[in-house]
Amino acid sequence: MKIAVCIKRVPDMESRFRITGDGKTVDETGLKFDMSDFDGYAVEVALQMTEKLAQGEVIVVSLGPDAVQEALRKALSMGAARAIHLKTDRVPADGFAIATALAAELRSGGYDLIMFGKHAMDSMNGVVGPMTAELLGLPNVNSVSKLEVAGGRGTARRELEGGAEILEFPLPAVVSIDEGIARPRYPSLKGIMAAKKKPLESKPVQLIAPRLEATRTELPPDRQGGRIIGEGAAAVPELIRLLQTEAKVL
Amino acid sequence: MPNVLAFAETRGGELRKVALESVTAARKLADGQGGEVHAMALGAPGIGAKADQLGRHGADVVLVVEHPALAQHSAEVAAATVAARVKQGGYDAVIFSASAQGKDLAPRVAAKLGVPMGSDVLAFQRSGGGIEIKHSGYASKVIHTLMLTASPAVLSMRPGAVAPAENPRSGRVEAVQPAMDPGSAKVVVKETVPGRVGRPDLGEAPVVVSGGRGLRAAENFRLVEELADAFGNAAVGCTRAVADDGWRPQSDQIGQTGRTVSPQLYIAVGISGAIQHLAGMRTAKTIVAVNRDKEAPIFKVADYGIVGDALEVVPALTAAVRDAKKGH
């Protein structure tokens, strides 16, 4: 079982974000970074799968500047066998450009499963996984909250609005992982030491010209909240009045 | 004359509300250009009966793809059929909803067409030779404006971002064959797990009542359900903590790692208001919060706050909403 997990390094979402001087994007200087949440679940699912089967290996892949190696090292310290860094000077907004580079790397890798997180916490797009699947011509299941493989086939539970479906598919396949499937483990000290000696291959890649670019980024206006109308059940009549006459939602 | 293709989502032989939103959005995009809107609906034989509804919302042509195996949605068949149609030419944009189905489908279609896409789009307008879109990022803490210069432009629209509007066109039906044999799809649906019946979906409901740990026990969610029932059109959500504790299914979770909702009215019951949760509901039109702790961050975003125990306030609120509804 050879599993690739594609991960992204993103800033801590608890941060107070500022906009760059040119107004185009988020100023990421001085922020704390980590592996994107759903990508962490995907790494954990992949590790559990190879542990359960007692065979196979997990290879983590990330595209971006040198700093993404931090996220790759973290995945190595969790237990991934090796890492591939596709080096670019930035991570473009154009998900198709990213998927094209990933597909070129993954195509000849002989992977049984290629995993993604459902979406990255910064871009909140969720397009790179299904696009990569399509470019590789592989079966694709997204928003997976349960995953089992046996005999060259996979069974996945996929979350829908207020429901779910159970899907079956042949391997190799591409899946994107939703929440609720597995809590990512914390790297042990031993894991962190071992990760330093694990192979991390960095190779420059040329991205295709982007056709989706951020031109402006803004912080949404703060909500004018903060109005406490009263305490306990006694405040309910006033709330009803405001919902009817002011907010006009009742 | 560039036309716009709208993917008209169906489930169980019915059009979903987001299908009408996609047609409405496509109409807006086509109008400036004098182009036509073509709405594509896939389903079991009989789905063509929904064509008039699509026509009423602005479809000049309804592309009906009927096949017995399409009683069950197949992303592979849908993606192949949409892409094959677009490749025939004449389209400069393809509109999906950023629903579960659309989020799954749109990127596959975009990749088949060799183009990037605008995902979970809040607003759009044509600008120069491209389309300018708004999209929220960084846990919904920023709004990006992006320029999409690829053609065709593939967009998935945030559910609720465009309200379905009637704009009657002929809705002329054209039968289209699936671009692949539905029996040869590699991914097969083995079982469908239904959601709770009798409640609108979180993404579509005008009112969302949501509960957190302040309810103290899973069984107290009954109070949240009753308040939702009093509204009649409300969905029920929850926080991540509550979903992690197994009080509620993960699919009910609202926040950074769950669903994003923008209802007319959001009632947060016993929810402190962590960033994780606010990311999923801060764009609601009106927010009401009930919480024991008057310092809870939820009150900073709430239009109306009541400081108090959810177990005491919610039943009173339920009774008052029932009375208010009766008065109408």
At residue B270, the 3 state secondary structure works out as coil
Using a CB-CB distance cutoff of 8 angstroms, which residues of chain B are in contact with residue A223? 282, 287, 300-301, 303
Give CATH for domain B207-326.
3.40.50.1220
**Residue B23 to chain A, least CA–CA distance (Å):** 20
Query: What proportion of chain B, given as a percentage, has pLDDT over 70?
Result: 99
Residues in chain B: 328
In a domain, A15, yes or no: yes
Q: What is the pLDDT of residue B289?
A: 98
Instruction: Report the alpha-carbon distance of residue A76 to residue A7 in Å, rounded.
Output: 12
- pLDDT tens, position by position, B54-91: 999 999 999 999 999 999 999 999 999 999 999 999 99
pLDDT of residue B249 exceeding 90, the answer is no
B168 Cβ contact partners less than 8 Å away, ≥ 6 residues apart: B55, B56, B58
Tell me if A215 is assigned to some domain.
no
Residue A226, pLDDT score: 85
Q: How many CB atoms lie within 10 A of CB A241?
A: 14
Closest CA in chain A for residue B121 = A125
The ipTM, to two decimals, is: 0.94
- Both structure tokens of A88: 């670019």
| Cβ-defined contact of A161 to B149 (cutoff 8 Å) | no
Query: Which of A123, A168, A232 has the CB atom closest to B190's CB atom?
Result: A168
- Per residue in B7-24, pLDDT (tens digit) is 999 988 999 999 999 999
Q: How far is B51 from chain A (nearest CA, A)?
A: 24
Say what the pLDDT of residue A90 is: 95
B177 Rama class: left (phi>0) / alpha (psi -120 to 50) / beta: beta
The yes-or-no verdict on residue B196 having pLDDT over 80 is: no
Question: Which residues, in sequence order, are CB contacts of B227 under 8 Å at separation 6+?
Answer: B209, B234, B267, B269, B314, B317, B318, B321
Q: A121 CB near a chain B CB, below 8 Å?
A: yes
Query: Which residue intervals of chain B bear CATH 3.40.50.620?
Result: 3-184
Residue A73 lies in a domain: yes
Mean of the per-residue pLDDT values for chain A? 96
Tokens of A107: 């195509």
Share of chain B above pLDDT 90, in %: 86
Closest-CA residue of chain A to B199: A162
What SS3 state is found at A77? helix
- Residues with pLDDT less than 70, chain A: none
Given this model, what pLDDT does residue B327 score? 75
With DSSP H G I counted as helix, E B as strand and the rest as coil, what are the percentages for chain B, rounded to 5? Answer: 35, 30, 35
**A62 domain-assigned:** yes
Residue whose pair of structure tokens reads 């397009």 in the numeric block: A127
All CATH 3.40.50.1220 domain ranges of chain B, comma separated, are 207-326
Rounded to an integer, what distance in angstroms lies between the CA atom of residue A191 and that of residue A225?
46
Q: CATH homologous superfamily of domain B3-184?
A: HUPs (3.40.50.620)
Angle at B323 between CA B237 and CA A237, to 5 degrees: 80
Q: Can you give the pLDDT at residue B328?
A: 59
What is the pTM assigned to this prediction?
0.92
Q: What integer best gives the mean pLDDT of chain B? A: 95
The CATH number of the domain where A116 resides is what? 3.40.50.620
Q: Name the strand (E) or helix (H) holding B96.
A: strand B91-97
pLDDT value at residue A181: 84
* Separation in Å, CA B178 to CA A33, A66, A115, B20, B43: 45, 45, 29, 22, 10
CA distance A180 to A145: 6
Give me the mean pLDDT over the B98-117 stretch.
97
CA nearest to A205, candidates A91, A67, A59, A36: A91
pLDDT tier, B152 (very low <50, low <70, confident <90, very high otherwise): very high
Nearest to B172 by CA among B92, B262, B65, B62: B62
Contacts of A13 in chain B (CB under 8 A): 138-139, 141, 256, 275-276, 279
Instruction: Give me the pLDDT at residue B321, please.
Output: 97
Per residue in A106-144, pLDDT (tens digit) is 999 999 999 999 999 999 999 999 999 999 999 999 999
Number of domains in chain A: 1
- Contact list, B207 vs chain A (CB under 8 Å): 249
Q: How many CB atoms lie within 10 A of CB A215?
A: 15
Residue A225 lies in a domain: no
**pLDDT surpasses 80 at B230:** yes
- Residue B1 has a pLDDT of 66
Interior/surface letters B152-183, b for 16+ CB within 10 angstroms, e for the rest: bbbbbbbbbbbebeebebebebeebebbeebe
Nearest-Cα distance to chain A for B131, in Å, is: 10
For residue B242, the chain A residue with the least C-alpha distance is A180
- Interchain proximity B202–A37, CB inside 8 Å: no
Contact B191 A131 (CB under 8 A): no
pLDDT value at residue A166: 97
| C-alpha to C-alpha distance for B313 and B150, rounded to whole angstroms | 53
Residue of B nearest to A136 (CA): B111
Contact flag A95-B107 (C-beta cutoff 8 Å): yes
Q: Would A197 be classed as within a structural domain? A: yes
